[in-house]
Amino acid sequence: MTSATPPSSRSSSPQKVCHSQTQTDVLKPLLGGASSGGAALRKRRRVLSKDGRSNIRIEHVSGRGALYMRDLWTTFVDMQWRYKFFLFTATFAGTWFLFGVLWYLVALVHGDLLEFDPPSNHTPCVMQMQSLTGAFLFSLESQTTIGYGFRCITEECPAAIVLLIIQLVITMLMEIFITGTFLAKVARPKKRGETVKFSQHAVVSTHEGRPCLMIRVANMRKSLLIGCQVTGKLLQSSLTKEGETVRLDQRNVPFQVDTSSDSPFLILPLTFYHVIDDTSPLRAWAAKGGGWSDPELADFELLIIMSATIEPTSATCQIRTSYLPDEILWGYEFPPVVSLSPTGKYVADFAFFDKVAKTKTMPVFKPEGPKHAYQSNGGATVQETSNPEKIRLEQSYREDERGRGRDAPLSVRISNV
C-alpha cells in the first residue's frame, strides 16, 4: 500500500473577497494560514475538523450571554463536562448553605441559639439546631432526605414549616433540571456518531468507465443505522458575474452507492462515490489531474455529512468529516476489507480500512464536447453532439419530410402515451 504526498506549488496571488457585502483584500489562501508551497496547504486550518467539530469562532455578538441564558437547557447540555461537574457541585453546596443561613435566622429570631440560654421548657423550631453548623447540617439533611433522627422540625414555628416546603420544592426542581441535563448529554446522538468511521483519505479512480471520487464509511456497532444519507459540500471561493470573490461558497457534491443514493444498508463497510462529470463542482480540479499544482484550484475543503436514524432510540444523528486537497489521492483505490472466514462468516478487517492501493490505470477526466440544439418536428428543443455529417443528413431528412407533408393529406394520431 502506498500513500501520496503533495508536491510543492507556487505562491498564490492575493484574492479579493466579499465579506458580508464588504470587500477586503486577503493575502492568505481560502482555508490556510500561509500562501506558498504544498506544506502550507497541508498545515492550513480546517473549517471542519476530521472528527466533525467546527473550527469557526464567533465574535462580536452583542448580548451573547443573554441569548444563552434564554435557552438554559441547550446551554447546560452543550457545557463541557468539567464546567458541568463544577456547576453541579457549586449549586448543591450553595443551596445547602443558603437555606442553612435561613434556618439559622429562624432559630435566631425564635431564640433557639445557645447564646440566648433558652429555659428547659423551651420548644425550638428545630430540635438540636443551636448553631450555624447545626443549621447547615439540618439544611443538608432535609434537602437530601437523610434524616438521622435527632435533628427535626417541630410544630412551634409556622415560618419554619413554610421554609421547609419552599426548600424542598425549589431543590427538587433544581435536581430534576440538573439530572435531566446530565442524562441528555450522556444520551446525545452525537456519541453514537463516534462509532461511525470515515476513511482517512478519499481516492479518485475509474468506476464504470468514469472518474469517481470515493470515500469509505463503516458502522462500528452491530446496531443498525436506518435511512443513511451521505451528502457532500464543497467549500471553495467562487467568482460572481459582478467580479466579486465569495469566500467559502458551498456547492453540493452528491454521493451514491452503486446506482442509488437512497438508504444504503450500512451493515458492512461501504464505498460511496461521486461521479466527476461536467456537472460536478470538482470538474476544474479534475481537469488538471487532481493534485496541488494549481493553488487556486486546490484551495478547497470537501465536507462529508451523513445523516441517519439510530435503530434502538429512533434518534437522528449526523456524522461529519472533511477532506483537504492533499487528503484526496488521485489514481488510488480502496482494497477490499470484507472476506469470508473458514466458518462461513463474513469478516470486516479494519486493518485495511484506511489503506489505499495505486490503480493500474490513472483516471482521466474528459469534458463532454460542445452540444448543438435544433427543433424537432414537435417543436421541442433537442440537444445533439457536434458531428457535421450527422447534422447534414438529419437536416436533409427533415426537409424531405416537410416536402412530402405538403402533398399528403393531413392525418392526426391520438395516443394514450
Identify the pLDDT of residue 234.
92
H or E segment and range at residue 96: helix 81-110
Integer Cα distance of 341 and 350 in angstroms: 15
Phi, psi of 225 (to 5 degrees): -110, 125
User: What's the pLDDT tens digit per position in 339-348?
Assistant: 888 888 888 8
Q: Which residue stretches of the chain have pLDDT < 50?
A: 1-30, 32-42, 372, 374-382, 384-385, 408-417
User: What's the pLDDT tens digit per position in 81-112?
Assistant: 899 999 889 999 999 999 999 999 999 988 88
DSSP code for 164: H
Helix and strand tally (H, E) in the chain?
9, 17
DSSP letters spanning 115-158: GG---TT---SBTT--SHHHHHHHHHHHHHT---SSS-B-SS-H
Identify the pLDDT of residue 391.
65
Identify the pLDDT of residue 7.
44
Nearest 5°: the CA angle 225, 231, 236 is 150
Integer Cα distance of 224 and 241 in angstroms: 46
DSSP code for 225: E
Identify the pLDDT of residue 260.
58
CA torsion through residues 239, 240, 243, 244, sign: negative
Identify the pLDDT of residue 296.
66
What angle do the packed helices 132-144 and 81-110 form, to 10 degrees? 120
Identity at 248, one-letter amino acid code: L
3-state secondary structure of 387: coil
Long-range contacts of 171-174 (CB under 8 A, 24+ apart): 171/95, 171/143, 174/91, 174/95
H or E segment and range at residue 207: strand 202-207
Whole-model pTM? Answer: 0.65
DSSP letters spanning 238-286: EE-TTS-EEEEEEEEEE-BBTTB-S---TTS-EEEEEE-STTSTTHHHH
Q: With CA atoms as reference, report the closest residue to 87 among 102, 99, 105, 75.
A: 75
3-state secondary structure of 224: coil
CA of residue 39 relative to chain centroid, distance:
27
Identify the pLDDT of residue 150.
81
DSSP letters spanning 11-75: PPPPEEEEETTEEEEE-S-SS-S-SSHHHHHHHSPPSB-TTS-B-PPP---TTHHHHHHHTHHHH
Identify the pLDDT of residue 42.
46
What angle do the packed helices 132-144 and 158-186 form, to 10 degrees? 50
3-state secondary structure of 402: helix
